[in-house]
């Protein structure tokens, strides 16, 4: 489907059902009122919090109860905005949720500093006197890693009060990108259509070269024309994060952000070093693509066209994609299948691209409620792979929520992306296995797996390198101008693409198209996760039930230990480069297969 429709025109069965969160806005308002009451009650416990073990346990229970309620409130309002960013009523819900969340953060700003300041001997005595505190052991240990970085209660209140202001650059970027930006119209498929992000993806895979070029230029021009606003938003966001790192006594914003999941910074540096050492694999693929397509000059808008030429051999409808995804993920067991069937049958997914809807795809979950998935559907393999990807997130939420208490259920992004990319690998492997007599599909799938690695690993590593540049540049006192951002972007693109890809000649500001730069050292985890997921998928398919059981134990663990420890239990040590080397070896093997098939 390429035509963008109004939300009111979308079939109800293809929209998500938010009543699982709140029956209506009146219920939402009542929940906000109740959360505000919990917030006021918690604010009064500052002086008595650490008086004795019983009061300590009681306050912690109240704190997590209020946090859980506010998570559901925030998620409801966020989803309401995501389905239509132009809806003023949804925007009001989001403002209400943000105000409640900010008030809560201010009211309990003293809690984490008090936990950090508590002597270890006193905490041990508390646990001995009140056994229920054992359930919070990991959560408390995670908070206590902030020793030296949590401020005095009054200072924490000030930072909490500034939460909405600190987050403003991301909101500005999102509104500009999803609501204000337009891309004109384009002649495609026999009709003049409004250019949308979903249509551009379809054209990139299926359009004739002049149309692909036109679509790319229209997109690039729209972002370029707004480059100064996008650059100012990025500058403000990066400056805020660097300032927060200084205030909290971290050596850098990267150290601050990685410490939240207790990820050593060496993991990040090793990723970039190993990637640069294996850029030859990416360059080899692009050279093969250029040769196969018979292009004298290959531009970035040629990189999504199937190597088989013409139309993609996969054009699944949403219903066909759900059936294929179920079949592909069958090795994960009947319980996993049952959860997927529930997802597809009971409106967990908002499927179609509609006017004002947030672009891309995501999954989110609130404890005690099924997950929600946002898609912007197009009948292509990429959309089906996105469905499998976001379903991986959803299933991790299902398993973690069912097996962990609230405070240990919210798994970090570092491990979340493992679950999603494992599903992508299993989908690709399933289709490779079931289409062996179709050369075109085999070429498409092999190239997709290699390109998926390029996009999920190499591209995200490039984004991670760009992100590090932004933070280090701003920290040194240099402004992040549109010109400086574009120069660095072009430099990295040339290094990662290699000599076979020629830049497009028109002016552009492609860094402006990446909302994840507002997510604070988020993207490197896509690359690490892709390498980890490759191992998980291989084990599931070759070792069977023991590997499936280990994988599900990983899903069920949620955030009950550090990501490094959880992965070590699963047999992967991310503090060493071995897992990266294994991933490069895998993609080299797939590239060998693809080259042989293309040259046969």
Catalytic amino acids? 390
DSSP sequence for 135-169: GGHHHHHHHHTTTTT---HHHHHHHHHTHHHHHHH
Which DSSP state fits 454? I
Query: Do residues 220 and 510 make contact, with C-beta atoms less than 8 angstroms apart?
Result: yes
As to burial, measured by CB atoms within 10 angstroms (0-12 exposed, 13-18 middle, 19+ buried), residue 450 is: buried
Q: Where are the beta strands (DSSP E) in 37-149?
A: none
Which DSSP state fits 354? B
Calpha distance 367→362 (Å, rounded): 17
Which residues, 6 or more positions from 405, have their beta carbon under 8 angstroms from its beta carbon? 135
Measured from the Cβ of residue 567, the count of other Cβ atoms closer than 10 Å reads: 23
Calpha distance 484→42 (Å, rounded): 47
Calpha distance 182→103 (Å, rounded): 36
**Strand pairing category for 185-188 and 191-194:** antiparallel
Q: Which residue has the tokens 């000599």?
A: 499
Query: Do residues 404 and 557 make contact, with C-beta atoms less than 8 angstroms apart?
Result: yes
Here the contacts of 138-141 (C-beta below 8 Å, separation 24 or greater) are 138/408, 138/559, 138/560, 138/561, 139/407, 139/408, 140/115
Calpha distance 506→83 (Å, rounded): 33
């Amino acid at each position: 489907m390429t035509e963008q429709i109004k939300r009111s025109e979308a079939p109800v069965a293809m929209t998500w059902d938010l009543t699982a969160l709140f029956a209506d806005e009146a219920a939402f308002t009542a929940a906000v009122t109740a959360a505000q009451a919990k917030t006021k009650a918690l604010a009064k416990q500052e002086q008595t919090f650490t008086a004795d073990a019983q009061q300590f346990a009681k306050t912690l229970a109240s704190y997590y109860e209020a946090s859980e309620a506010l998570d559901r409130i925030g998620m409801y309002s966020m989803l309401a905005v995501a389905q239509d960013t132009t809806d003023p009523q949804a925007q009001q819900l989001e403002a209400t949720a943000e105000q409640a969340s900010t008030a809560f953060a201010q009211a309990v700003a003293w809690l984490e500093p008090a936990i950090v300041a508590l002597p270890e001997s006193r905490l041990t005595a508390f646990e001995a006197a009140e056994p229920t505190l054992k359930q919070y052991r990991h959560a408390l240990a995670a908070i206590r890693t902030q020793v030296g970085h949590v401020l005095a209660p009054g200072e924490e209140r000030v930072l909490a009060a500034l939460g909405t202001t600190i987050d403003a650059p991301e909101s500005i970027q999102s509104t500009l990108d999803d609501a204000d930006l337009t891309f004109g119209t384009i002649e495609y498929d026999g009709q003049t259509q409004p250019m949308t992000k979903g249509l551009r993806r379809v054209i990139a895979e299926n359009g004739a070269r002049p149309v692909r070029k036109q679509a790319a230029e229209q997109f690039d021009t729209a972002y370029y024309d707004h480059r100064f606003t996008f650059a100012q938003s990025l500058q403000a966001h990066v400056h805020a994060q660097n300032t927060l790192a200084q205030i909290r006594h971290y050596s850098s914003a990267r150290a601050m952000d990685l410490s939240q999941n207790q990820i050593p910074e060496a993991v990040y540096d090793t990723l970039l070093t190993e990637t640069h050492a294996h850029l030859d694999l990416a360059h080899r693929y692009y050279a093969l693509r250029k040769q196969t397509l018979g292009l004298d000059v290959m531009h970035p808008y040629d990189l999504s066209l199937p190597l088989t030429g013409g139309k993609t051999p996969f054009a699944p409808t949403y219903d066909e994609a759900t059936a294929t995804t179920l079949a592909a993920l069958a090795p994960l067991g009947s319980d996993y299948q049952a959860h997927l069937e529930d997802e597809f049958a009971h409106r967990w997914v908002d499927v179609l691209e509609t006017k004002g809807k947030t672009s891309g795809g995501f999954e989110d979950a609130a404890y005690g409620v099924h997950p929600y998935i946002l898609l912007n559907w197009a009948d292509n393999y990429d959309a089906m792979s996105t469905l499998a990807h976001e379903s991986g997130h959803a299933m991790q939420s299902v398993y973690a929520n069912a097996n962990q208490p609230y405070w240990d259920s919210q798994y970090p992004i570092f491990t979340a992306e493992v679950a999603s990319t494992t599903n992508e690998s299993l989908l690709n492997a399933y289709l490779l296995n079931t289409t062996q007599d179709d050369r075109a599909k085999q070429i498409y799938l092999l190239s997709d797996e290699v390109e998926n690695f390029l996009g999920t690993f190499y591209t995200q590593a490039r984004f991670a390198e760009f992100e590090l540049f932004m933070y280090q540049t701003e920290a040194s006192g240099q402004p992040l101008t549109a010109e400086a951002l574009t120069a660095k972007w072009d430099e990295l693109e040339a290094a990662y693409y290699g000599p076979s890809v020629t830049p497009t000649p028109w002016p552009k500001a492609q860094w402006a198209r990446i909302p994840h730069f507002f997510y604070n050292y988020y993207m490197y985890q896509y690359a690490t996760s892709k390498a980890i997921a490759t191992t998980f998928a291989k084990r599931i398919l070759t070792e069977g039930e023991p590997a499936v059981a280990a994988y599900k134990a990983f899903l069920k663990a949620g955030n009950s230990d550090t990501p490094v420890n959880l992965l070590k239990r699963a047999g992967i040590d991310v503090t060493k480069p071995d897992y990266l080397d294994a991933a490069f070896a895998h993609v080299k093997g797939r590239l060998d297969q693809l080259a042989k098939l293309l040259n046969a």
